[in-house]
Amino acid sequence: MSINRSIRGALMPATFAVFAAMSASAAADTLTIGLSAEPTSADPHYHNLGPNNALAKHIFSALIEQDAQQLLAPGLAETWEPLDDTTWEIGLREGVSFSNGDPFTARDVVYTVCRIPTVPDAPSPFTLYTNAIAGMEIVDDHTIRITTDGPAPLLPNHLSTFTIISASASGAEDEVAFDAEGCSGLGDTPESQAFTDPDFAIGTGPYVLSSFVRGDRIVLERNPDYWGEEGAWEEIVLRPITNPGARVAALLAGDVDMIENPPTQDIERIESSGFKVSSGLSNRVIYIALDQGEAPTPGISGDANPLQDAKVREALAKAINREAIRDRIMLGYSEPAGELLPPPMFGTNADREAIPFDEAAARELLAEAGYEDGFQITLGTPNDRYINDGQIAQAVAQMWSRIGVQTDVDAKTFSAFISDRNGFAFSAFLAGWGAGTGEMSSPLGALVATRNPDAGLGGTNFARHSNSQMDDLLIEALQTVDEEAREALLQEASRVVMDSYGIIPIHYELTTWAMRDDLDYEARADQYTLAYEVVPAN
């Protein structure tokens, strides 16, 4: 039962006693979670953003699921096999039905892929993951053949990023097709706002939407017909509490059972108050990018750009005491990094340790490069985006200053930071990267591949790093459908970048959840809070 309805009941004295009895029994089966960010829409294809994607997974299901380590697992699809370099055959799960009773078939999958580009005003569309699809052939109700423009080894990863909606409930015609001429039979595709209506948000997920009150709460009820393992809770209430202090206070006061992202400095207090904290490595690396594009570079005086010298970059990398940052700033909730993605994720080198802290070596390297007196540099950073981002940058500035590189920190709110960064206003900046696909080509392709907008490479390479050896390895990997061969190529590409200090990783964020101590939640690398995976502790 929804809170909403129950309060209206409370206002009517006659029903009050009944209501009280009901709520007492319902309370035990309700899980309330304080979210750190509010989903901007209930439409699963509107905004490709963590909170939205996490909410979507409650109500809808994806063809392919990602487990806690982002390894692929069967979802609505049971099998996916490449037939050749550009054709994939997807075998769909049988006997699955939508929450309105309609059976789930291949038509819904084709409809979803076709609908994604039509979402009006989508601020971050999912077309990124569907662009490679050139056509979809419905072999039978539970088999689809997908053809792609060129080899697309990441297709299964991409299919795991979006969830499937019902073609019939969205107003599609009986025949939905995606062939050489494009999509047909879509009818009028729905607007995003429509999904706020529980009667419209029809999915195959473990829960169904009960109410969506913006700024206040999202209520979900268990889907009795879910195809997978039934969720532990009759009802789930998601409450956005964006202020970290207020979120912690809500947990301590018992207003909510669990919260996302408790601030690191409050974890001690949470634990000493009898709550449990679950944490795990995320797919997000915090890194420093150094401008290697031009000389002179902004923020460094003189005509030269010392950052083009690999020795200088190595010196700056080794001057950072990653353990100290972990212990003093992150209070233990980070892991010093030596690559852009933590092992054992796909494409990482398990033997690669975090870059060691070595102040003497750093000074020596600077001297070898001809900068024994150091130089001045400005380190740009957002101060409200990543966990303790502004503090990390200031600590790095301390450490660089100690080897003679006088560092100023230019900390800004994310929106201001990003417009400066995208205008190449920083010769050094701190930022973070979360690999949505959970494998190495994501950070390599975005952060260090030579900038090439047409090929979709180097989109976030605002340091203008360029290494043709790495580029070749990466591009070959992106054409290689064989898993083992691709992983070896990605590992090699990562080694090449790291050996030349093309980018300086600092640490991987640990994502944390705090909850009542009679609950359990396995930390997820993608940082999603999936309420249906929260279970009572044994």
Q: Is there binding between residue 4 and another protein (CB under 8 A)?
A: yes
Largest distance between two CA atoms of the chain: 85
Nearest distance, CB of residue 213 and another protein, angstroms: 8
| Selected binder of another protein within 14, 17, 24, 253 (CB under 8 A) | 253
- 7 belongs to the binding site for another protein (CB under 8 A): yes
Q: Is residue 445 a contact partner of residue 424, using CB atoms and an 8 Å limit? A: no
CA angle 497, 502, 508 (to 5 degrees): 80
Residue 364 contacts another protein per CB under 8 A: no
Interface residue with another protein, options 230, 413, 485, 499 (CB under 8 A):
413
d(CA 522, CA 68): 7
**Helix 468-478 with 483-499: angle, nearest 10 deg:** 160
Cβ pair 239, 33 in contact under 8 A? yes
CA dihedral 343, 347, 350, 351 (to 10 degrees): -140
Looking at residues 225 to 244 of the shown chain, list those that interact with another protein (rule: CB under 8 A).
239, 241-244
Q: Distance (Å, rounded) from C-alpha 423 to C-alpha 402?
A: 29
**Applying CB under 8 A, which part among 62-70, 171-179, 187-195, 306-314 lies near another protein?**
187-195
Rounded to a whole number of angstroms, the distance between the first and last alpha carbons of the chain is 27
Does 376 bind another protein (CB under 8 A)? Our answer is no
Site string for another protein, 62-101 (x = CB under 8 A): ----------------------------------------
164 token code pair: 């499937």
Q: Is 23 in the site for another protein (CB under 8 A)?
A: no
In angstroms, what is the minimal distance from the CB of 109 to another protein?
Answer: 22
Q: In the numeric block, which tokens belong to residue 72? A: 């692929």
- Contact residues for 212 (Cβ-Cβ < 8 A; gap 6+): 42, 196, 198, 218, 219
Q: State the Cα torsion 102-104-108-113 to the nearest 10°.
A: 140
Number of residues forming the site for another protein (CB under 8 A): 85
Q: Which two tokens stand for residue 392?
A: 């990390």
Q: Which residue of 397, 503, 510, 514 would you call a contact of another protein, by CB under 8 A?
A: 397
Q: Which residue has the tokens 């892929």?
A: 113
Q: Which residues, 6 or more positions from 416, have their beta carbon under 8 angstroms from its beta carbon? A: none
Footprint on residues 443-462 left by another protein (CB under 8 A): 446, 453-454, 456, 459-460
Shortest CB 247 distance to another protein, Å: 8
Q: Does 433 bind another protein (CB under 8 A)?
A: yes
Residue at token pair 């809808």: 60
Burial string for 53-90 (b: 16+ CB within 10 Å, else e) reads: bbbbbbbbbbbbbbeebbebeebbbeebebeeebbbeb
Note whether 360 binds another protein by CB under 8 A.
Answer: no
| Contact between 467 and another protein per CB under 8 A | no
CB of 8 to another protein, least distance (A): 6
- Which tokens sit at 77? 């699809």
Quick one: which of 411, 493, 519, 534 contacts another protein (CB under 8 A)? 411
Nearer to another protein, 329 or 519 (CB): 329
**Part in contact with another protein (CB under 8 A); list of ranges 6-14, 80-88, 357-365, 498-506:** 6-14
Q: Which span sits near another protein by CB under 8 A: 274-282, 321-329, 357-365, 515-523?
A: 321-329
Structure tokens given for 140: 């039978």
Among 22, 304, 418, 523, interactor with another protein by CB under 8 A: 418
Nearer to another protein, 187 or 263 (CB): 263
User: Which residues within the stretch 112-131 sit at the binding site for another protein (CB under 8 A)?
Assistant: 120-125, 127-128, 131
Residue 401 makes contact with another protein by CB under 8 A: yes
Neighbours of 418 (CB within 10 A): 16
35 vs 106, beta carbon nearer another protein: 35
Pick out residues in 30-59 that bind another protein (CB under 8 A). 40-41, 43, 46-49
- Which residue shows structure tokens 């920083």? 426
Distance in Å, CB of 525 to another protein, minimum = 15
Nearer to another protein, 410 or 533 (CB): 410
Host H or E run for residue 494: helix 483-499
> Which of 13, 95, 215, 274 forms a contact with another protein (CB under 8 A)?
215
The residues in 501-530 that bind another protein, with binding defined as CB under 8 A, are: none
